[in-house]
Amino acid sequence: MTAPVLMLGGTASSVGKSVLVAGLCRVFAQDGVRVAPFKAQNMSNNADVTPDGLEIGRAQAEQAAAAGLVPAVEMNPVLLKPQGDRTSQVVLDGRPAGLLRARDFIERKRDLWPHVERALESLRSRYELVVVEGAGSAAEPNLRAGDIVNMRVARHASAVTLLVGDIDRGGVFAHLLGTLELMPQEDRALIRGFVINRFRGDPSLLAPAIDELERRTGVPVLGVVPWIDDLRVAQEDAVALERPDPPGSAQAGTHEVDIAVVHLPRIANFDDFDPLAQERGVRLRYVSRPEQLGVPDLLIIPGTKATIADLEAMRRSGMAEAILARHREGSAILGVCGGYQMLGTHIEDPDGVEAAAGSAVPGLGLLPVSTRFEGDKRTQRVSGHALASAGPWADTQGAAVEGYEIHMGRTRPSPGTSVAPLLHLDGHEDGATSADGLVAGTYLHGLFHNDALRTALLRGLGRTGSGSGPFDREAEFDRLAHHLRAHLDLDRVRGWLGLPVGATVG
């Protein structure tokens, strides 16, 4: 039997679809339904690796975890990773498949539909429900001809489709009504309900507007979902980093350890640092300008899809010089993936893997390593232990670690030098540290999700109090599911899907 499909479309990008899909996956999994997430095409530099070494969007891996599943490539058959304003790397069925230029967008995407259809039907044959996430707005007339991720998916699957709007941005009722009005009649007929997301305030104040929206459209509002403070569920878009911290959040409290993450133009896998944000006594902040940097205890240069371009952007903005100044003043510095590559003496791209062919730029020169981009991408899950034994890393030695690698560069010690590795992973040494331990780099994504290492490093950075304990992702999923149960008419959704009404947590 082919499983029914529940689809969440949006009025725009970053209205909270990814998190809502994760929450609904947890709700239905708690109810005993075998549920899987799906997103036909994801445009994001936040990526993850399946156990068989295939690359998918990070949000879909998080949604799979919420459903109690191991992530699979069928959950995100097309991943577009922006490298510039007009070019994206195409990851098709988990493997790199060339570049997509903006002017070829519609024509090339038509060729991707069979991959989408095959992946979705595979999930529908193996599970009892598939929860689908759309992309951006569900009704962009200029993108309709090449659509493979929004209403074409809904039509193909006869999906029960909900339209999500973000009230925190303002104008949500106009956004919901306008999105519906822009749809052709066959698509409009698939929209079964509206969801108003991220509300702060008294929902009774919305009643007149909700009544008018329902009267104009004949579509019910299934609920108003309040803002959730400090929710640590991985999101797809770096736009999430631009939202101010809610009053009273952990960010606003007192702290013993100050950690600054450079908000690169093409930042990737920023949820690497989520466990730091939930730690007592730790302030985590994202900075994009030198004057925001201050004198942090730890300065992190994160991953990026465009190492050379983002390094040059840091030089133009003055951030590169500011980082060097903080190093001279004694701040510890960590580079992850692309950030690790930037810390070396130079970066080369002879074949144009990431930048123009023949590109070669000096790095920040804080580690005696150099990077050369090569055509084959390393994508694998790994485990091992920490090797570093100096500076703030001293107490991390021997701590077990696991995570994943996604990179096309190969980083090696500069000729005539030796370097102490940071980690030992599945039979090979990873990363590098300076002799005093104040500069370190690694290719491991998910480093701070390892509780013992994170606790030891924070102690080495000066935290004297106790931490917040293990980073409990399962508890976050359960908190999100409880929140959705309280604020959405899920029985109506179950009825539309042909699932038992009045389901309770198993």
**Residues annotated as catalytic (active site), given as ranges:** 337, 445
CA distance linking residue 506 with residue 485, whole number of Å: 14
Residue 424 contacts residue 398 (beta carbons within 8 Å): no
Are the beta carbons of 58 and 37 closer than 8 angstroms?
no
Phi and psi torsions of 327, nearest 5°: -60, -45
- Nearest CA to 338 out of 409, 234, 389 is that of 409
Q: Which residues pair with 440 in a beta bridge?
A: 334, 433
Closest CA to 284 of 302, 305, 308: 302
Q: In sequence order, which ranges of 92-171 are alpha helices (DSSP H)?
A: 105-110, 113-126, 151-157
Closest CA to 334 of 161, 209, 458: 458
- Euclidean distance between CA atoms 197 and 144, whole angstroms: 25
Signed CA dihedral, 460, 461, 467, 470: sign only? negative
Structural contact between residues 236 and 44, judged by C-beta atoms closer than 8 angstroms: yes
DSSP designation for 499: P
